[in-house]
Each structure stands twice: as structure tokens, then as C-alpha cells.
Structure 1
Amino acid sequence: MQTLDGPGRHVLFLNWRDTRNPEGGGSEVYVERIAEELVAHGHRATLLCASYPGAPSEETTAAGIRILRRGHRHTVYLRAALVYLAGMLGFGPLAARSLGRPDLIVDVCNGLPFLSPLYARCSVIILVHHVHREQWPVVLGAWGARVGWWIESSLARRVYRRCRYVTVSAATRQELAVLGVDAGRVTVVYNGTPEIAPGVTSRTPYPSLLVLSRLVPHKRVEIALETVARLAPDFPALRLVIAGQGWWETRLRDLVDELKIEDRVRFAGFVTEAEKGDLLRSAWVALTPSLKEGWGLTIVEAGAAGTPTVAFHDAGGVAEAIVAGETGLLAHDTADFVEGVRRLLADDAFRQEMGRAAQAHAARFTWAASGDRFANLVLAVTGGVPTPAAEGYLLP
């Protein structure tokens, strides 16, 4: 890690959620781990995000990230602008003592951006995990999808036309290029592989599958359930654990009943890091049927536990989180997905070899390296001097 020469920067992250939010996911893990690395480099990091029931309005994490929670999932965008402007003008309870004057804003676009260049008086980086073209209709329906897609593909491109972009995969950088964002303005900073909680859990004695995901429509957990139903005749002891929570759970439970696989599926709900580690180590195969991922953090988490994953070829960054045919399998449609799972369950040697390769692949991605890349970009954008050891990280 390169420590900072000269005064640290104050970096303000604007994100709709934090990792403690019940709806938090991989995007939130990425933001906070990068923020932690920036603190380790000598910078200050503040995260402004939405509140949720029972959450304190302000706290500082053990790693030194200051978290301010304002508004809810729909109003956090406006509240972020008001908090920033109050700090700049120096009045009111939301003023400088709460936020201060950041040197850089990292505006996290999860479909809807904060549009911070419209009011910010500092440098702005926009962080895009993936483009949501396919997800808008699933989440909002036809009319809402048109509005969401116009904001993401047209309005945002104009608002951020002078800003540096960061994304988490080459696949997303290519998608941004299709929208008209010059690839030279986009830096790829991969996710690190999260540490797996230590444990001695062994593989289940029966064929077992794992889905680790938020339970929302675009994660397409239905495909995992359909896979279990199709493979059950060939693997009578087959079981699936679904770890995660979300508002789509009721529909998924109804589908379990419709498919008559109640005795094969367990909804684990929220799991602790220790429980997650045990699940990853015990499963034979992990499933990521998601419509789109910027990277696929759970894929490399599974890989770290020696568990191969089956996902979809056209789901964005998963094609980089998985080395197809070596660390996992990428399917072209649902039938191909089911057959990929069947192959891994049926061939012990193939599955175990792929698990070892997945573990080696996951080890290549570290948060320390990602932090070096992002910290160097912070200096470059705010007029500092990038450290020589990390200059290459600025290349798109």
C-alpha cells in the first residue's frame, strides 16, 4: 500500500445504501471497502446514504468511515444535495460540522445517479457498477423503465460529461462506451475478494446448491428453483439453500410450492459472515442466475471457498469474475444453465478441479490493490501526484 505524501483529501461517497441496510448488497460492500482503503492511505472518507428503520443518523465505523444517513431510498438524492449545500454555506444543523467541505465526491450510480455535478463545487467521480438497460423493465415496468433508462443513458451522460468514471469490469466500460462515454475517461477498479470467515465446514454428503443474493426480481432466483425441480429426478438428495432477504421472497416461496420442491429448498434469510462462510464451504455448486452484475462479488467469494459457480454469459461482469470452463460455467439460456449444474453435480473430479481453479482465481483480486488504484485516481483527479508504483492503474 502506498501511503499519502502531503495532506489527505476528504472524499464524500454518495450511495443510496450502506452495508448495514437490510437491502444492501455488493455495491455497498465495494464502496465501503474502497473507502476503508482510502482512509488507510491517509484520506478522510464520508458516506452519505439513505436511512432505514432503527439506523442511527450518524456513526463512524471501526475503519474510520463516517456515515451520515439522510432521507430514505427515494429522497436520499435530494437530501444529499441539501446536506452538501448546507455544509458549503455553513448554516443549519446539517452544516460544516456534519459534513465539512469535501475535496472530491464519488457519486455512485445504481441506475439513478445523484447528479452531483449540478451543485458540487469540487471534483466528481461517477462510479457505475453496471448499466441497467435490461433491469429497468423488470423493476419498474414499461413506463417507469423508459424514464429510468432516459435518466441513466441520456441525462446522466450529459451531466457527467466532464467527469472521470470508475467501473468494476471491462464489460461495463464497454457498455458505457456504447452510451457515448469515451473509454479514455473510464478507469476499471476491480472488486477485491472478501475474506471468508474461518471455519472447518466440509462439503455436504449430498448434492447441494447455494444462492447468495438479495431477493429481488432481477436476481432471477426463480431459475435456481427451476433448476432444482428439473434435476431432482436425477439427484434425489439434491438440496438448495437461498441466503439473503428482500421483498421478492413471498413470490419465490409461492414458486417453491408450485414446483413441489418444499423439502429441497431452505430460505436462510440474512446470514452472518461466519454462517456465509460455512454455506460457501459446504455447497457443491454456487448459482448466480442474475440478469446483470457489474462484477459478481458472490462468485469470487464462492471461489475463495473452492466452490465453482454457474452464471449467465451475457450478465455483464460475471464473464470476468468467472473464467469460463475453468473456474465456473457460463450459460447462454436456462436450459444450458440447468445442464451446466447437472454436469458439475455429476462429475466429482471436474467439480473439484474447477473449485481449485476458482480459489486461485479469486486470490488474484485484493482490496489492497484496488485501494491503491482508487487512491491514485483520487490524487490525479484532485491535482495531487500519483505514486509511481500505481501509475499504471490509471490506464483505462
Structure 2
Amino acid sequence: MRKLVIGMALASTAIASPVLARDGAWYVELDGGPMIVEDIEFDLPNAPNDVIVDTHYGYDFGGIVGYDFGFIRLEAEGSYRAADLDQIQVGSAGVTSRTGFFARNDTYDAIGDASVLSFMVNALADFGPDDGLQGFVGGGVGVARTKFDGVTVNTAGPGFLDDSDSGFAWQLLAGVRAPLTDNIDVGLKYRFFNTDTLDLVDTVGRDVNGKWRSHSLLGTIAFNFGGAPAPMQTCWDGTQLPMDATCPARPVPPPPPPPPPAPVVQCNKGPYIVFFEWDRSDITPEAATILNNAASAYANCGAAAVMLAGHADRSGSAQYNVGLSQRRADAVRSYMTARGIPDTRISTEAFGETQPRVPTADGVRELQNRRVEITYGPGSGY
């Protein structure tokens, strides 16, 4: 049995990589699974380790209420574990059998059971993401009531030990778990449980001292009540990211085109292109420079027609982008009429997102697609 105990402990610890449950959240948890009890050694007066009790496999189950502070969780736990007896190894001091005599210096089949009811306070260190496999390690301290019921040699009579004791207990914990839903986690937990000092009295009035040590492998299911939302930052483009993330760099608009060549008699019909901020139709200082050049160049084109084509990028709906590109064309029209170009010579058309200057996927913001193109004179157009 000792080899099985050691193997179970090592296997359970190996799967426990150092769980971040739900930060800032209360949770409840149910645990249950098989248990192995180490051989229980009893000291009789002037006879240390004179009685050794071996048990069958047992069970361990309990419930938890806890709070997650982030890296650390604190829990209040109540649990119960029990196992039936298998054999009793008796030394020279002997034990009372159910036929009324002392059994000595032999190993006997045993009857009876042993159980522990405990109430513990646990502290756990958690590691790992909320949305993936998580691990934890920790321990707890508290009080336990350890009871031995009808412990004796398998014969008729009064028996050897029928007593209980309450005292200090401690445990070590390790495990893994993963989210099943937004609020429910499932996992696997290893528990080493220990009560060092048990002071009992057997059926003939002798002091009996011992300890309980057990190893449990428990399946767990936990319900999280939800934590405080993580603080977010708003970036320049309106997107929200966690506080420890870096916002994307603000795009730099392309430099304005070089100034037009010295005026000549020949009409320079463009196109002149002005760009706009995202979801805006305001004339920027860079756009104003280009429009001033376009208005000056119009003087060389006589009474030429002026064609304004408005465009948008693909970050909004198609219908919304048609309206946005029309507003941009109207803004350019107002700016040019204010600088002497006859309104009757100007015509506009809104293309929305249908004619991108830089092809992009739907929803992508692209500065060079947020534009109005201006062309002059005979043969100009869209």
C-alpha cells in the first residue's frame, strides 16, 4: 500500500502546474473522489507502534466557499473522509478481541471503520489564464474530528477501540482545472491530509496515541459568481484594450503632394485628391492646401466643369459610407465656391466604399480611401 500511496502522490503533483480562477469573484465548489489512508500506527503504554491498522480504499468529499483575490485564493472548506478496516497487526501489548482475550504478536483480519470530519481554511496560489488550463498549489489548517468505530479483531466480543478525538489538522493541495462555461470550472485535485496527535482510550482503559495521514484524488466542479471587469483603456481610434496592452500607433497621413508647377496657359485638370480623418468630413489643413492649389489652377481652365468624386474606406456599412462620401464631396464644394469657383460649374457624386484607392478587407480603416478627387475641364469625369 505504501508504494501505491507514493505513486498516487507523485502522479497528482506532476499534473499540477503552478489557476487563476475569476479575479475578484466569490465561488462555491464541490469535491469528491477516492482516498488511500496510510497505515495507522498506535502507541500503547510502554509499547510504541504496538498496533498497526491497515484500511481498505476509502472516499473523500466536501464543499468549499472561496474568494479569488487574483494570484491568491482563500477558502473555507468542510470535508468528510472514511475507510473500512482491512487488517490489524498486533504486538506484545495485545488488544482486546471480541472473545474477551488479548490478541498478541500476529496479524488479524479486522472489522470497524475510521473517519475524519474536518473544517479547514485554505490559501492557494494560482497560475494560468482564465480561459485555458489552470493550475494551483497551496495548503490549509483547521480542526478535525477523527473517529474509530468498532475497531477490533474479526471475532465476537467487546472489541479494541471505539473512541474519537478532535484537534489540529493540516493539509497540502495541488491540482488543475479548466473553464467549462463562463461560470463553471471542472478539475482534478490532490489532497494530503494530516492529524498528528490523536489521544484515545481503548476498551480496557489504556491510553492509545496515533495519527491519521491520507491521500485523496478528487474531481472538482466550481461555480464562479463573476468578478469585477478588468479596467480598459480607450485608444485614439476608439478601440478599447486592457490597461497593460499597447494601443496601435496613430497613422501618419501622407505628405501633401508637391506644389503645382508654375501657372501655364494649359489647363491642369487634375485629379486633385484630398484626404479626411476617419468618419469625418472636415477639411483638414493639408486638404485646404491642396484645394487652394486646385482653386488657383482653375483660373487657367476657363469655364471648365468641375467634377467632385467622394469616397470612403470600408470601416462602416456600405449605405453609411455613401452618405459619408457625399458629405465629404459637399464640404469640398463649399470650400471651392468660397474661393471663386462658380457653384453652377460644380457637380458631385458619392461612390462610398466601391472604388478604394488601396484595396482592403471589409471593416479596415484606410486613410487613402477616405478622399475626394477633383478634376477639371473637357473630358474630365469620374
TM-score in terms of structure 1 length: 0.19
Q: Which protein has the larger Cα radius of gyration, Structure 1 or Structure 2?
A: 2
Which structure carries more strand by proportion?
A: 2
Which structure carries more helix by proportion?
A: 1
TM-score in terms of structure 2 length: 0.19
